[in-house]
Amino acid sequence: EVQLVESGGGLVQPGGSLRLSCAASGFTFSTYWMSWVRQAPGKGPEWVANIQQHGSEIYYLDSVKGRFTISRDNAKSSLFLQMNSLRAEDTAVYYCARDKEAGATKLDSWGQGTLVTVSS
Amino acid sequence: DIQMTQSPSSLSASVGDRVTITCRASQGISSYLNWYQQKPGKAPTLLIYGASNLQSGVPSRFSGRGSGTDFTLTISSLQPEDFAIYYCQESSKVPLTFGGGTKVDIK
């Protein structure tokens, strides 16, 4: 069974940093792209970033470019999101999602999410 | 960026009804369109990928059609567990934009 478990969320002041982690199990992590998707309270999902199997291709939402960094450790089946210079508008539940092996994106497994609150 | 517009934003329906939700892309995306279902307090789950391919484990009452800019998600006979919010998502190019959602609730 595919399992994705996020951690690292919490309350942070504007301008602060957080590092989210996602522990994957139940599938061969190194053969899949992985994505982070966020959902602000009462809003729809918003794709944030994704990373190719070996990290050679990475894409970001424009509003997080230069502030967020996605990375992965295939040996530990783990995905990360380093978030710096956080803003109030980054407040959301952040989900880790399994992306494609090849071809077009399809987010076919999601974690339970971790809440990030940016507030003073 | 590609904009995804869903309609209606909400609808009320009864168990057994046939329900159709529409998603329109601001530019042609071929068949690069996914549909997700989200229940309160839960992560979204994938229903349909590539516009018309049923994800493994999803009941056959769900179906998707369309290509280019216009897409539909149909639930052939609404069941109690189908009351949820439905989102489309384009998978043609980054950023991978979601539609605004369609809330399906009980009439």
The model's pLDDT over A105-116, given as tens digits with 9 standing for 90+, comes to 999 999 999 999
Residue from B38, B94, B76, B11 nearest A64 by CA: B94
Sign of CA dihedral A84, A87, A89, A94: positive
Out of A60, A105, A110, closest to residue B44 by CB: A110
Smallest Cα distance from A96 to chain B, Å: 10
Smallest Cα distance from B14 to chain A, Å: 24
| Interface touch A107/B32, C-beta < 8 Å | no
The predicted pLDDT at position A89 comes to: 98
* Phi–psi pair at B40, nearest 5 degrees: -55, 130
Measured distance CA(B85)–CA(B8) in Å, rounded: 11
Which residue in chain B is spatially nearest to A65 when comparing CA positions? B95
The predicted pLDDT at position A21 comes to: 98
Which residue in chain B is spatially nearest to A45 when comparing CA positions? B98
Q: Work out the average pLDDT over B61-69.
A: 98
Using the Cβ of A102 and the Cβ atoms of chain B, whether some distance falls under 8 Å is answered with: no
Can you give the three-state secondary structure of A58-118, one letter per residue? EEECHHHCCCEEEEEEHHHCEEEEEECCCCHHHCEEEEEEECCCCCCCCCCEECCCEEEEE
Sign of CA dihedral A90, A91, A96, A101: negative
Measured distance CA(A47)–CA(A97) in Å, rounded: 10
Tokens of A117: 């609150």
Tokens of B18: 């046939």
Tokens of B1: 């960026």
Smallest Cα distance from B102 to chain A, Å: 10
Residue from A65, A81, A84 nearest A22 by CA: A81
Using the Cβ of B83 and the Cβ atoms of chain A, whether some distance falls under 8 Å is answered with: no
- DSSP-derived 3-state class of residue A31: helix
The predicted pLDDT at position A39 comes to: 98
Out of B46, B92, B98, closest to residue A108 by CB: B46
Using the Cβ of B52 and the Cβ atoms of chain A, whether some distance falls under 8 Å is answered with: no
pLDDT in tens, B85-100: 999 999 999 999 999 9
Measured distance CA(B7)–CA(A111) in Å, rounded: 28
Smallest Cα distance from B1 to chain A, Å: 10
Tokens of A62: 């424009």
Using the Cβ of A38 and the Cβ atoms of chain B, whether some distance falls under 8 Å is answered with: no
Query: How crowded is the C-beta side of B96, counted as CA atoms within 13 Å?
Result: 26
The predicted pLDDT at position B106 comes to: 87
* Phi–psi pair at A31, nearest 5 degrees: -100, 0
| Banded model confidence at residue B107, pLDDT cuts 50, 70, 90 | confident
pLDDT in tens, A27-70: 999 999 999 999 999 999 999 999 999 999 999 999 999 999 99
